[in-house]
């Protein structure tokens, strides 16, 4: 079992001080396996599958570990009235400051707080200042236009809930670099118009308010089971399409609850597996949204993992 976990690769790109993810907005997608007509007395959402770019600049330092007074996910703005906008500035201040009581200003749950900490607590603070990359929208709640994307954590052990901390943009996919050997492939993209805000980042993904007036098709929400299903995602045609998979197992394990095998040879031919940027792609079964793609498997081009949709729905109510 440990060998399997060592093979797992979260389907997003990580670079120093940045975390990367992928999205492209097309309303007229390939409809070969469209959802069944919506049942009006059952929960329904707008079906995602569009590629997005994620753009977050905190104008401060996002705390990545709980240390002393500040918590992971807080945003540090000032130290002794000196603005701190990136990790380099933070590290420099930590090395040069020589007073015992230090004033800090930070954002916690949408509240600006100024307090005093010790020099030892300051030295233990670690953080980053930006998130950039590519992902996929899973769905949009029609009652409040809150969207869900990604399907896994994008900063380990960090939950952020501060309004308008970034944006998502329509992503145009220019080309695909296929997965090869132990290297997961990715999209080459161009960022287009802004289509939403980023308000929450947690262990199940990215959430915020969808602001585009282009809305996709409604679909009922359902429960996953072993058997035939589809991934809905955007590839190099920049149109959403359905690709057949077979769900082989449902398990109670963090963001890897749905195990699946890719059955659609067209998808394998295009990508050679799950790509960085496909995280969040909806999983549709029996005409209902049941989950989201969350992980690729290192070195295995026809397998992947998904998150059950219930884990995301609680964040957009």
pLDDT one-digit tens code per residue, 3-14 = 443 344 344 433
Residue 33 pLDDT class (50, 70, 90 cuts): low
Phi, psi (deg, nearest 5) at residue 95: -80, -25
Q: Check: CB of residue 51 under 8 Å from CB of residue 26.
A: no
Q: How far is CA 239 from CA 35, 49, 169, 181, in A?
A: 16, 9, 16, 27
CA-based R_g, the chain, Å = 20
Q: Check: CB of residue 188 under 8 Å from CB of residue 173.
A: yes
Helices (H), the chain: 2-7, 87-96, 119-123, 265-271, 310-313
Residue 311: CB atoms within 10 A of its CB come to 20
Give tens-digit pLDDT for 207-240.
999 999 999 999 999 999 999 999 999 998 999 9
Can you give the pLDDT at residue 9? 39
Residues composing the chain = 317
Phi, psi (deg, nearest 5) at residue 70: -80, 155
CB neighbour class for 254 (10 Å; exposed up to 12, middle 13-18, buried from 19): middle
Token readout for 194 is 């802004």
Q: 292: which strand partners?
A: 307
Distance, CA of 147 to CA of 133 (rounded, Å): 17
| Average of per-residue pLDDT across 109-115 | 89
Across 33-159, the runs of DSSP E, i.e. the strands, are: 44-47, 51-63, 75-79, 82-83, 101-108, 111-118, 127-140, 146-150
Tell me the helix, strand and coil percentages in the chain, rounded to 5.
10, 50, 40
For the chain, give the percent of residues with pLDDT over 70: 88
Distance, CA of 146 to CA of 135 (rounded, Å): 16
Q: Is the pLDDT of residue 48 over 60?
A: yes
């Amino acid at each position: 079992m440990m060998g399997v976990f060592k093979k797992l690769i979260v389907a997003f790109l990580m670079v120093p001080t940045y975390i990367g993810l992928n999205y492209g907005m097309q309303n007229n997608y390939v409809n070969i396996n469209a959802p069944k007509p919506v049942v009006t007395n059952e929960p329904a959402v707008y079906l995602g599958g569009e590629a997005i770019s994620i753009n977050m600049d905190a104008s401060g330092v996002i705390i990545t570990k709980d240390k002393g007074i500040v918590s992971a996910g807080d945003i540090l703005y000032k130290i002794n009235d000196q603005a701190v906008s990136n990790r380099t500035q933070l590290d420099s201040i930590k090395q040069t400051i020589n007073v015992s009581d230090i004033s800090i200003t930070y954002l916690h749950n949408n509240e600006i707080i100024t307090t005093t900490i010790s020099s030892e607590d300051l030295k233990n603070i670690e953080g980053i200042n930006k998130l950039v990359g590519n992902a996929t929208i899973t769905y949009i709640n029609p009652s409040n236009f809150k969207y869900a994307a990604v399907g896994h954590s994008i900063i380990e052990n960090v939950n952020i809930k501060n309004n308008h901390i970034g944006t998502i943009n329509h992503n145009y996919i220019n080309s695909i670099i296929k997965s090869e050997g132990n290297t997961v492939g990715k999209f080459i993209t161009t960022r287009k118009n802004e289509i939403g805000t980023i308000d929450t980042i947690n262990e199940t993904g990215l959430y915020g308010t969808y602001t585009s007036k282009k809305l996709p098709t409604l679909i009922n929400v359902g429960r996953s089971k072993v058997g035939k299903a589809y991934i809905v995602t955007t590839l190099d045609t920049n149109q959403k399409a359905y690709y057949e998979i077979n769900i082989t197992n449902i398990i109670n394990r963090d963001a890897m609850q749905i195990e699946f095998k890719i059955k659609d040879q067209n998808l394998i031919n295009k990508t050679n597996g799950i790509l960085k940027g496909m995280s969040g792609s909806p999983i549709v079964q029996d005409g209902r949204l049941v989950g989201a793609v969350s992980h690729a498997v290192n070195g295995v081009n026809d397998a992947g993992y998904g998150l059950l949709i219930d884990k995301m729905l609680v964040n957009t109510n």
